[in-house]
C-alpha cells in the first residue's frame, strides 16, 4: 500500500521519498523480548532492580535493494517522541543525501510514548491490531 492509504498497511512515518525510484526499499520489523530494569546511582555500576519485563517495539529499515548500491554504512536513529509519536527527524533532514550516497537507515522506536501514546503511538496506528504489542 502507498503511504496515505486509509488501511495504514505501511509503516508509521513512512518515507516521503519515492524510494523505489532510487533502488531503495522500506521494511518494518517488530522486535520482542524481555527486559531488565536498572538503577544507576551516580557514576557507579548499574544495579538490576527487576527482570523479565515483556516488550515489543519496532524498527523501520530503509536500504538499497542491492548490495552493490550499499556503501557499507548504517545510520541508526533513536526516533523522537516529543509529539507522542515516532518522528524520524534525521531521515527528514538527510534522506536525499543518505540515498544519493548509498547509506542504509534504521529508525528505532525506543521510548514508551512512541508505542503507547493513546492517539498517536504505534498501538493506536495499528487500528486496534494489538496482537504483536505487549
The pLDDT tens digits for 33-78 are 999 999 988 888 999 999 999 988 889 999 999 999 999 999 999 9
Place of cell 515483556: 54
Give the three cell numbers for residue 68: 552493490
Residue ranges of domains in the chain: 19-125
Contact 84, 77 (CB under 8 A): no
Burial, 28: exposed, middle or buried (Cβ in 10 Å; 0-12, 13-18, 19+)?
A: middle
pLDDT band of residue 1 (cuts 50, 70, 90) is very low
The pLDDT of residue 64: 98
pLDDT (tens digit per residue) in 91-123: 999 999 999 999 999 999 888 777 777 777 777
How are strands ordered across the β-sheet holding 24-39? 24-39, 47-64, 104-108, 74-78
Q: What is the DSSP letter of 7?
A: T
Query: Would you say residue 3 has pLDDT above 60?
Result: no
Amino acid at each position: 500500500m502507498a503511504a496515505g492509504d486509509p488501511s495504514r498497511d505501511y509503516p508509521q512515518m513512512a518515507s516521503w521519498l519515492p524510494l523505489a525510484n532510487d533502488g531503495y526499499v522500506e521494511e518494518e520489523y517488530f522486535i520482542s523480548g524481555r527486559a531488565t530494569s536498572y538503577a544507576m546511582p551516580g557514576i557507579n555500576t548499574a544495579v538490576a532492580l527487576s527482570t523479565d519485563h515483556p516488550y515489543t517495539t519496532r524498527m523501520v529499515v530503509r536500504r538499497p535493494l542491492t548490495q552493490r548500491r550499499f556503501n557499507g554504512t548504517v545510520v541508526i536513529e533513536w526516533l523522537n517522541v516529543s509529539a507522542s509519536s515516532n518522528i524520524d527527524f534525521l531521515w527528514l533532514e538527510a534522506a536525499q543525501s543518505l540515498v544519493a550516497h548509498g547509506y542504509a537507515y534504521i529508525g528505532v522506536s525506543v521510548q514508551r510514548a512512541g508505542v503507547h501514546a493513546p492517539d498517536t503511538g504505534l498501538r493506536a496506528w495499528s487500528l486496534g491490531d494489538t496482537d504483536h504489542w505487549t
